[in-house]
Structure 1
Amino acid sequence: MYEIPQLDLKNRVSDVEWQTRVELAAAYRLFVMHGWDDLIHTHISARIPGTEELLINAFGLAFDEVTASNLVKIDIEGNVIDPGCPFTINPAGFTIHSAVHEARPDDQCALHVHTNDTAAIASLKEGLLPLSQYSMFALASLSYHDYEGLAVNHEEKLRLQNDLGNTNFMLLRNHGALTMGKTIGDAFMHMYDLTRACQIQLQIQATGQEPQYVDQSIVDGIKAQANIVHSGITGGQTAWPAMMRKVKRAYPDFDQ
């Protein structure tokens, strides 16, 4: 009940899979460091490059218990691939991830959170507003998906896929947020930007004063530059190595 099975897959999987495992485990620890985790709920999933196989957290583990070796390898339907794997996954939580990975095969990573800030903004009829530079990043590639109850209905998948389209940021109405990325680092930075945008908006609205909106022409200009804003120097690859080092200092066992 209290013991976690100890696994060591470092020399039993390909170098590409191991690197994906290490980076995904780091993302789970970063969730804890930023206060984005939700007991054992919500997920980060990543595709192993060059395959159709996905990695996700074991159901029942806290995010600060996730390691590179105890991530679970599954197919797009959520079936555990590794024979003898002692862990299971949360099938309800995987509904969203299976939908977005199926729709976006070129994206490696999907992050989903239930943070107060993202859920609050997602529950406002007006949604995210152009009030800060962080909101500019998100508004450049933002979509919404209406709440349909707990994400266990496979019929919802098509509607979710259609709503997501080619965007990198999604607010799930009355629920939380989702970000996509070509890499795990990109998906993490997208969630960082979206979370900051939501936090700032709530703080501005709490003052009760009339906000200063960013001019629509600027919003439109940033949308036109979305391919620059969400890749390269402003994307995850610049900040991600520093985030990996930060995780290693705080949690030396994450990459085991």
Structure 2
Amino acid sequence: MEKHYYLVATPESLIASHLNPHEFGNYMAVGSKKNLRSQSVFFEIDPAKADLPLDYVNQNLVAYENGEPKRSVYLSIYRVFEKIPMDALLNLYLATDDGKVLEIAKTDYAPTEKKEIHLYQQYNPFSTMVASKLTPPEFIHFLTDSTKPVSVPRLFFVELQLNDLANDPTLPIKNLPYKNPAHLRECLLKLHESSERMTKTVMRVRHSELPYRTIETGFFIGDQKSYFYFPFPDQHELETTHFAWWRSALVQHF
């Protein structure tokens, strides 16, 4: 059977599996007996470009006696993101809580509009939601700068929608489905009114799963040397090419 390797963000782990990415995403979301419900965000990685415990994999990633594939063998659960080389990252996958899986390939990042404020939900190494005047590449460079007292080796996050609030925090929030919208507006106003502050924490810890419909540009991962951008499909592509996934993403089942 084929061997696949996955860098999982929810929760952080490195896993070997016989399952292909779509099968693996379904398994991570709903389990083998369909009694789980949780989103899963993960990368497939190229084993030729990462230092993996292959002897351990060969010993433990073995099909069951009845011929069923081995679904998961955990290889690491601590500080995995910073240890996997950037060039080992292949495509990104988003699994809905009922097991539908969306595949996203990386591409060059080119901002389509000027925003005064961005909203970022971080996945690794922490799950803080942050408002920032920094663009995604600038945000990565800012937080991975080891010369500063507060820094991280690598950062993985997604940019979320702010709509008109990105340039004017006093406007109506309308249909943005964030918890405690008054607090969000207060954070945006403080950032908007300060000429020196570049970032403002909106939520210290994510307490629930991310509504995929709030994603703006897409996902970013990077460090001081490089970064990758995984663009979220636009509305037309979601409603045509990825309709089954999008319909599932619009309805959270937990």
Q: TM-score range by the shorter chain?
A: under 0.3
Give 1 or 2: higher helix fraction: 1
Give 1 or 2: higher strand fraction: 2
Greater radius of gyration (CA): 2
TM-score if structure 2 supplies the norm length?
Answer: 0.28
TM-score if structure 1 supplies the norm length?
Answer: 0.28
